[in-house]
Chain A
Amino acid sequence: MEIDIEQDLFENEAKLAELNRSWFAAHRVAAVNLLAAPGAGKTSLIRRTAALCPLPLAVIEGDPASRIDTDLLNGLGIPAHQINTEGGCHLEAQMIGQALQEFQPAAGTVLFIENVGNLICTASFPLGEALRVVMLGVSEGDDKPFKYPLIFEEADAVILNKIDLGPFVDFDRERFYRGIRTIDPEVPVFEVSCRTGAGLAEWSRWLERKAGEYLDAATV
């Protein structure tokens, strides 16, 4: 006997993400899903942003196995909560829902969700975030938008990090922007260096404004 199922496997993900979205709105927490390959500079960006952005920050750290980043951030006075995916390559909405039962950021917080370092499957799993930010280092190459289009498609902002390395790695800006603009003609791109601090003030102002808009809307 044949049984028709016709069940989209990501449909359920969307429902679980919706539950998180309601939680974030009800608790007035602006969640930022931060996506990048390993070593792009996600944790450095969070540290730098904490020093610039006047809004209180908190972090949910997704990591296959270690607590290195969480310990580092907690040591700096940034409240951070660890999710270990036990080898899994992305965070799922259900993991965030579970984390929120223990880790409850205060109202008005910008909650960074530092996703597992990966440009493929992290794109397919919505977490209920207010903003999705994709980060890339120039040393990773200018072809990433062409190779991983889906991750850039839902991005609210793109951060191009390590621009201080530009002269050493033959990063073709024109090609990179051609890829990005094909996928999204409007998405803001911030060229920064988390090492030198270049460009970060502009990014931080953008984040403050977008998170502020979200939090104002969530108050009503």
Chain B
Amino acid sequence: MHELSLTEKILRLVLEQAGNHKAAKITRIKLVIGDLSGIIPACVEQYFGLIAAGTIAAGAKLEFQRSKAELYCPVCEESFEKRPADFNCPRCGSLAQLTESGRECFVESIEVD
């Protein structure tokens, strides 16, 4: 459900940016979404289709780049990709720590005509 409020923020942002560049149409929106962000791209896509109707962003293609969640193992002093519902280091089995990666949620760029 929180995808709706996020999609509204995305739409507001891209319309504003397109307006600044006097664009007539937004054709593509590139987004980076982290695996830990709790955001489901398919939901964003669906909401976008609904709320962008009637704006210059209607019909724009949404392109999602996922960013992986990484954990850091203090024993091995190495980062590794997080597996679902698991905090253990695949090498030594110790409990690892969350890092900043995987939380991203940003609009990278847009393509306009």
Contacts and interface: CB of A to CB of B under 8 A. Distances in A.
A149 to B, nearest CB: 6
Contacts of A54: none
A147 B85 contact: yes
B91 interface: no
A88 B9 contact: no
B75 to A, nearest CB: 13
B6 interface: yes
Interface residues of A, number: 31
A153 B102 CA distance: 14
A9 B107 contact: yes
A5 B87 contact: no
Contacts of B42: none
B103 interface: yes
Contacts of A7: 13, 106-107
Interface in A1-50: 1-10, 12
11 contacts: A2-B109, A3-B18, A3-B110, A4-B109, A6-B109, A8-B104, A121-B2, A121-B38, A124-B37, A143-B85, A150-B103
Interface of B: 1-2, 4-6, 9-10, 13-14, 17-18, 21, 23, 36-38, 85-87, 95-98, 103-113
Interface of A: 1-10, 12, 87-90, 92, 120-121, 123-124, 143, 146-147, 149-150, 153, 178-179, 181-183
